Each structure stands twice: as structure tokens, then as C-alpha cells.
Amino acid sequence: MTDPSSTSTTLGPTSATSEDTGTAGESESGTPTTTAPTTSTSTSTSTSTSTTTGTTEPDPGTSTSTGTTEPVDSTTAETTTTTTTGETGETTDDSTTGEPEPCACPDLEVPLDDGIFVLSDDAELWKYFPETNEFTMLGAIGCGMTNTFSMAVDRLGYAWVQFNSTGALRKVDVTNVADCSDPGFALNQQGVKNFGMAFVSNSESDKCDRIYGNTYSGFGGYSEGPNIGDFITIDPNNLGLSKLGKTNFDGAELTGTGDGRAFIFGGQFPSKLVEADKATGAALSVLPLNGLEINNGAFAFAFFAGDFYFFTDSDNDLFNSEVTHLDYDDSDMNGQQDLTVLTENAPLLVVGAGVSTCAPVIPM
């Protein structure tokens, strides 16, 4: 997200509860199709220390903490296997039910489960690998617009990019970033122009996903206050936008998980990580991120393998983002949710980050 006008501590969460009134909308289902990949030239830049979000915690750069099986009669047993072929020739077999698996993750040349897609302020798509703390450029997106605002990535391998000037949404194939298409999203629905967004799975058992977002009014810098923002969702079938409830952020980013959770990153002095109720937008928990400031500059974040990665322009240089890691699941088992700066000079200014719900939910 970008504004159109513009050490070790322990982080202790504070909690807020809300009444869950149900799930928002119907789940999208079907067998995904893929687009044949093309090969692009990429460059890789490694900065600061490398990180793994599994059993090994990254070396800090600058640290600020804030049953029984019944026998089968082989003479009568019958196994049913159904093979389905998608439009692009991809096959999905399910020998258990004989039905195609809904919302399965495709096998792409640019994988969806090994990193975070990030969008630059000059409309380039990159990929960030948490395990090595490295960036790889995938290329300039072919949408004919460069004033990028935010981004989300779906389970089929498309980055949904929003532009600042009009609020237009475009789909970019992550295997061929020159392939940019108009999904048919109508502008200014419900009076909403721009929003931070993410794809979130319907639940832990229903992997089909949809966009959720937090609105930005476009007036002044990003701000925080009671009920000043709207929590929204977009219907995956007709791309209709609905307001689900209020949030305390006018301008915030979202990230989603493969087990159906939605998180908001916004606010100032300090910034905050909020788990949101998908039905209402109400805060289920709030974690102050002491020492991590947004400062009305470009910012984004994503969930990957149990932890969060924040991309901020905390020094307001308008050139390079900082990357900060939050050990949300306490994978190093030190009893703290450590907040650690991995690099102060990423090779791009990040305005959007998207992680597919195909990405791992627990440490690898």
C-alpha cells in the first residue's frame, strides 16, 4: 500500500473479543486451471542475514523486540478412481471420493508455497523468500499502469493488483507477469475506491478463498480511530463488494491464511497487528508492534509458515523497504514473539505483498 499524498523487546498482545455472527458469503469451488508458464530472467539480491521460519530462528540483523483398520475382502473390494482434466490439460485424481478436489493448488513453474509475492511502487512483481531473506524480480507487470496501490494473490497463481489513480483491479499471471487481464471488477462500489487486501481461505476445511480488505478514504495520511475504516469482502462469483463492519483504521493492509484467518496491519505509534473476525471485521486480538512504524509511507505485510513479514518504509526514503520478521508462533520457544529487522535496504519499495493460501500455515 502506498499513500497517494505522500534491538530485543517482547511484544505483549492485548485482546478484544467480538460476537461471531457467521461467515461472510458463500464458498467458491471448482477445479483450478493453470496458464502455461513462460521463463523470465530474474535477479537475486541478498541482504542482511538469512532466516528460516521453521525449527531455526533467523540470526537477528537489527533486533527490536517489541484407529483400528477393518480387513478388506480382496475378492469383493472395489476401488474407484476418477481423473478429471481441466481446460489447460491439468489432471486432478481423487481415489477416495472419485470427485475432483475443490480449489486444489496448481503445480506452477513459479511455486505458490515457497515465498511471498511483493509489488513495487513502479509496478514490478518480485518474490521474497523468507528462508533465505532474498528477493528475486519476476518482471514488470504488463497492465499499462504504474501507480500501484495494493496486491493480493489467489490459489490459481494470479496476483490481483490495485492501482491508485482509479482503484482499478487487474489480474497478473505470476508465471508470466506481462499477462495482465481485467477481471471485470466495477469501480467505486459502495463508495469504496482503494483498499488493502488479501485472499483468505473460507475455513481450515474449506480451502476455497476470497478477497477481504480494509478501506482507505483517500483523504490525508493513513490514520487510526474508532470505526473510521470499513472491513470489506468481494464475492468471488460476481466481484460484488460488500461492507461487513467497521475497523479502527483508515488505510491498512491485510493478509490471510490457508486455515481461514484474516489479519490487519495498520495504525501508528505504535503500529498494530490485529486478527479480524471475517464476518464483522471486529478485532479478535490486538498486538502492538513497538518500534515498527508505518509513517504514512509505503507498507505491506504477509503471513508465511506461522510468522509475519512486514515491509515498511520506516525511514521515509521512498526508495527501499525494510523487512521485519515477527516470530508470531514462538518457533524458537523462548516465550517471546520477537520482532527482528532482517534488512534495512530491500532492492525495491514495497507497496503490496501477497501470499497464496497454498502457502504453509505452520513452520516448514
Q: What is the per-residue pLDDT across 276-301, written as a single tens digit (0 to 9) for each?
A: 999 999 999 999 999 898 977 799 99
Structure confidence at residue 139 (pLDDT): 98
Q: How far apart are CA 113 and CA 355, in angstroms?
A: 8
CATH architecture of the region 114-354: 6 Propeller (2.120)
Structure confidence at residue 52 (pLDDT): 36
Which residues 6+ apart lie within 8 Å of 73 measured at CB?
Answer: none
In the DSSP assignment, the letter for residue 190 is G
Structure confidence at residue 4 (pLDDT): 55
The phi, psi pair for 190, rounded to 5°, reads 55, 25
Structure confidence at residue 268 (pLDDT): 85
Structure confidence at residue 331 (pLDDT): 84
Structure confidence at residue 26 (pLDDT): 38
Segments of the chain scoring below 70 in pLDDT: 3-98, 100
Structure confidence at residue 265 (pLDDT): 98
